Structure 1
């Protein structure tokens, strides 16, 4: 059996890598929120809006855009509270209510507007299809997470909410990849397409890795408790 010193070292290493993951996640999430807020001045002088000036003449597209960026901004911040062990243990009511609001915002606002806007997304047929998939998978994983917590299946609920969060976070990871490829001199259109695919597929893989690790740790804990 490992001694207390080894356990302390293992715990310190685990906390270090946890911090190494979450610090940039929180930083870039807050940066995205900061960069999104100016859109609510409703100025037309943003490159995204200028590129789609004709689409923004349609009220349904315009309202969908502002609804979608509000939903995405809120979901990214709300989701950060959902993965806090302190809030879950000490302030469970915050976890529950923020979770309910997150689910509502995804199902009613974020995913439907994202699906609508996907039909007009920049890029080829495959990029538009990917946006459609993102919206539907975000909706499905969120609904699945809600159903499972109602059935008191906490572990499966966490797994599906990790998948839901991975879709919300594509807004953050896409921008990180886009900046990196820009500095490597990749032209705008290819940068856009590559960053989008890496962001979506990468986030899904990272989510599945975390789910695998959490499930493995849960099984190991169960075995230890059962054998003891």
Structure 2
């Protein structure tokens, strides 16, 4: 009689999914998003143009109305996005995930992105900031639509990749504001030297730098995150084949 003995390493190992409290980034992300919306949204719900945090250009009287709608739709995108990337919520409530996904796309990103294009063209902070805003709006719309299309085709791995990019662009408004603070602190002492006392030039410079770094760095981080995950999957496949 021949006994066949399996090597312990050949037995399948089951990995339990982390619980919702084991995702340390979920709660802080939601808190930051809610706090940002709570700070940013009220002035634009007041219907008072004097409370706008972005100066309106003289050639565009409807700037405040368009900007207010953009902020409202962008806030919807930010809040629903937190639910969409929460693994526990996706796994536990798939139907709710699909519903909030439609809200994220059609009541958040799409109208918010289209209005962002209008606001970008009327950007009061100069051409560098305006160019960044146009590119950001186009990428935001493109990544979101691609993710929605992949879900419709049931290509869920591709859907996840595109929606991670969309998430990075949705939340980039937060990093934009953080960079603004950093550059104000850094460049304000140089007002009389580098900028020759021209405050408008300094504001345009800060706006341009913050606008580009605000979304480029989060998008690069999202790509690194995706490539890191793909590399880990390839290593697992190699180990399993071996």
Match of 1:170 in 2: 172
Match of 2:107 in 1: 105
**What TM-score results when the alignment is normalised by the length of structure 1?**
0.81
CA offset at residue 217 of structure 1? 3.1
Structure 2, gaps ≥5 residues long = 1-7, 10-14, 189-201
How many residues align structurally?
211
Q: 1:188 aligns with which of 172, 178, 203?
A: 203
> In the alignment, is the contact (CA less than 8 A) between 1:106 and 1:142 conserved in 2?
no
Q: How does 1:49-198 map to 2 (within 5 A)?
A: 49=54, 51-52=55-56, 54=58, 57-58=61-62, 61-106=63-108, 108-186=110-188, 187-198=202-213
Structure 1, gaps ≥5 residues long = 3-7
Q: Which has more helix, going by share of residues?
A: 1
> In the alignment, is the contact (CA less than 8 A) between 2:77 and 2:109 conserved in 1?
no
Match of 1:25 in 2: 29
Measured against aligned partners, the alpha-carbon deviations of 1:94-148 in whole angstroms (never above 9, x if no partner) come to 2111111111124541111001111111333232121111111111111110111
Whole-angstrom CA distance in 1 between matches of 2:187 and 2:136: 27
Whole-angstrom CA distance in 1 between matches of 2:114 and 2:161: 22
Measured against aligned partners, the alpha-carbon deviations of 1:66-89 in whole angstroms (never above 9, x if no partner) come to 210011111011111111111111
Q: 2:41 aligns with which of 37, 42, 48?
A: 37
**What TM-score results when the alignment is normalised by the length of structure 2?**
0.77
* Matched residue SS, 1:122: coil
Whole-angstrom CA distance in 2 between matches of 1:107 and 1:22: 21
Q: 2:218 aligns with which of 182, 188, 203?
A: 203
Q: Which has the larger radius of gyration?
A: 2
* Matched residue SS, 1:48: coil
Match of 1:46 in 2: 51
Whole-angstrom CA distance in 1 between matches of 2:114 and 2:137: 7
Alpha carbons of structure 1 residues 47 and 150: separation in structure 2 relative to 1, 3 Å: closer
Computed over aligned residues only, the root mean square deviation of the Cα atoms, in angstroms, reads 2.6
CA offset at residue 222 of structure 1? 4.3
Runs of 4 or more off by more than 4 Å in structure 1? 21-24, 221-224
